[in-house]
């Protein structure tokens, strides 16, 4: 189940077309999820910071946002 916060983040990333940010953060997001939050890469950190700065009311956890970033990267690859 994807929370509304992660859905909002995924929608935001899709509509903003932050393709370079998504692609750069995708590997970091996968590592973050696979390590249950232990591995936090610099691209994921930058993407999370951008999401939170651009959406101050965003309530999603870092894990939910990482999932949305990973899904957003997969959607971008499919759209190309």
Range of the domain at 10: 4-79
- For the chain, the DSSP string reads ---HHHHHHHHHHHHHT-HHHHHHHHHHHHHHHHTTT----HHHHHHHHHHHHH-TT----HHHHHHHHHHHHHHHHHH-
Count of domains for the chain: 1
Which of the four pLDDT bands, split at 50, 70 and 90, describes residue 1? Answer: very low
Q: What is the pLDDT of residues 7-40, one digit of tens each?
A: 555 555 554 556 777 788 999 999 999 999 999 9
Report the predicted TM-score, pTM, of the whole model to 2 decimal places. 0.71
């Amino acid at each position: 189940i994807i929370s509304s916060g992660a859905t909002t983040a995924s929608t935001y990333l899709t509509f903003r077309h932050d393709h370079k940010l998504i692609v750069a953060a995708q590997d970091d997001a996968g590592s973050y999820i696979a390590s249950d939050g232990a591995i936090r890469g610099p691209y994921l950190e930058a993407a999370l910071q951008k999401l939170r700065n651009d959406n101050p009311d965003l309530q999603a956890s870092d894990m939910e946002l990482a999932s949305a970033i990973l899904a957003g990267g997969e959607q971008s690859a499919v759209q190309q």
